[in-house]
């Protein structure tokens, strides 16, 4: 699957500044500009468990992942595809 910059961005609430993996508003804006419309494919995950530079943003614990809204529609829906009917056997 194609995704912005071919990487997974981190959604953890982290106080580390300057991290290239962090999903920021600048990254989201660059992805939108690259894609041309809202709903650019951006791979995201909470990478705090495996990150040596993770610093909690003051909450004192690892946060829950930040939900990312899904704004695109699957290709089958936009192409007018119909759901598959179950097979029947005599």
Average confidence score pLDDT of the chain: 80
pLDDT in tens, 65-75: 566 666 666 55
Q: How far apart are CA 8 and CA 2, in angstroms?
A: 11
Tell me the domain boundaries of the chain.
Answer: 4-78
> Looking at residue 75, what is its pLDDT?
56
Whole-model pTM: value is: 0.60
Distance of CA 9 to the CA centre of its chain: 7
């Amino acid at each position: 699957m194609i995704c912005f910059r071919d990487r997974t961005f981190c959604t953890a609430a982290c106080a580390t500044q300057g991290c290239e993996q962090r999903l920021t508003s600048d990254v989201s804006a660059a992805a939108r500009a690259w894609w041309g419309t809202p709903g650019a494919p951006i791979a995201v995950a909470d990478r705090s468990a495996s990150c040596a530079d993770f610093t909690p943003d003051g909450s004192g614990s690892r946060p829950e992942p930040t939900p990312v809204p899904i704004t695109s529609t699957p290709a089958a829906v936009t192409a007018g595809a119909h759901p598959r009917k179950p097979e029947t056997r005599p």
